[in-house]
Structure 1
Amino acid sequence: MDVRELQVTFDCADPHGLAGFWCEAIGYACDAPPPGFDTWDAALDAFGVPPDQRNGRSACHDPTGAGPRLFFQVVPEGKTAKNRLHLDVRAAPGLRGEERMAALEAEGKRLVALGAARVQRHEPAPPLSHGFLVMADPEGNEFCLD
């Protein structure tokens, strides 16, 4: 069987804003406009998309090509329950103990300044858990700093 590309899709209220958050959070870049256009606004003008309908979707990608593309689409309903699937942002790989937790706390503070919320801290419980932070993005989608 061939390996398939993976895209992670977020249902949200503000695709452009949430894409911007995740770009800053994990070092991704927003997708470039289609060939022949310098900006997305120029492309959307040419496609006849009214200004009030230009935040229906957004996407970003790993500039190295290693990670999956993230796609954000507007949906009419808000988030109502805990995610069944979440992202783990590897903010302290290889670190253990207080050094690990300090690195996670520092990254958590950076993400809170970008609009995330801190949800819970899980202390190290070796051998299976080295500790992690549960966070929520600006629209309440849970993710972990691991």
Structure 2
Amino acid sequence: MARETQVTFDCADPAALAAFWAEALGYQLQDPPGNYSTWDEALDAMGVPPERRNDASAIVDPDGARPRLFFQRVPEPKQAKNRVHLDVRAAPGLTGGERMTALEAEAERLVSHGATRIRRHEPAPPLGAGHIVMADPEGNEFCLD
């Protein structure tokens, strides 16, 4: 039986967090359903009041190969370190200084979009290629790998 995977984020501001992760991963906002040209049009037709329009958001891979990411508003703030996190593969095939330079450039780009840099792990061959731990605008940890 075929299965699809969706990654769900609990958050305070679904639209803002979806925009950040779309930028980080090269995703796009999921198109509105049916024949609606905008989400506002679709939500109007569904009877969703304006104050509930940022209760959820979703982004998708434009090529359809990677999982959908869903963002849902929850009342409680993040309280502890994530037990599961995303690794953003920003330097595939690169090693050593070239790898870390590429990771630093991506870290700088994502900081300009609201991410926070947490720490850098230097390469430690043979198994440690080096990575940078980051947090998204709501504090969810992820790695630039």
Which residue in 2 is equivalent to 1:21? 20
Structure-1 residue corresponding to 2:65: 66
Superposed counterparts of 1:42-61, under 5 Å: 42-61=41-60
Q: 1:124 offset after TM fit, Å?
A: 0.2
Shift of 1:37: 0.8
Which structure 2 residues correspond to residues 122-133 of structure 1 after superposition, within 5 A? Answer: 122-133=121-132
Q: How far apart, CA to CA, are the structure 1 residues paired with 2:125 and 2:17?
A: 34
TM-score by length of 2: 0.98
Q: What's the offset of the Cα at 1:56? A: 0.4
Structure 2 SS opposite 1:110: helix
Structure 1 residue 48, shift from structure 2 partner: 1.2
Deviation at 1:3, TM superposition (A): 3.8
Write out per-residue CA displacement over residues 94-143 of structure 1, whole angstroms, 9 at most, x where no aligned residue.
Answer: 10111000000000000000000000000000111110000000000000
In structure 1, give the amino acid aligned to 2:20.
F
Match of 1:104 in 2: 103
Following the alignment from structure 2 to structure 1, what is the Cα–Cα distance between the partners of residues 46 and 131?
45
How many residue pairs end up in the alignment?
145
* Same amino acid, percent of matched pairs: 70
- Amino acid of the structure 2 residue aligned with 1:33: P
Residue 140 of structure 1: aligned partner: 139
Q: TM-score, normalised by structure 1?
A: 0.97
> Which consecutive aligned stretches of 4+ in structure 1 deviate over 2 angstroms post-superposition?
none
Whichever residue aligns with residue 105 of structure 2, its letter is A
Task: Write the mapping of 1:66-105 to structure 2, written as runs, cut at 5 A.
Answer: 66-105=65-104
Gaps of 5+ in 2: none
Q: In structure 1, list runs of 5 or more residues that go unmatched.
A: none
Residue 126 of structure 1 aligns to a residue whose secondary structure is coil
d(CA) in 2 for partners of 1:36, 1:99:
47
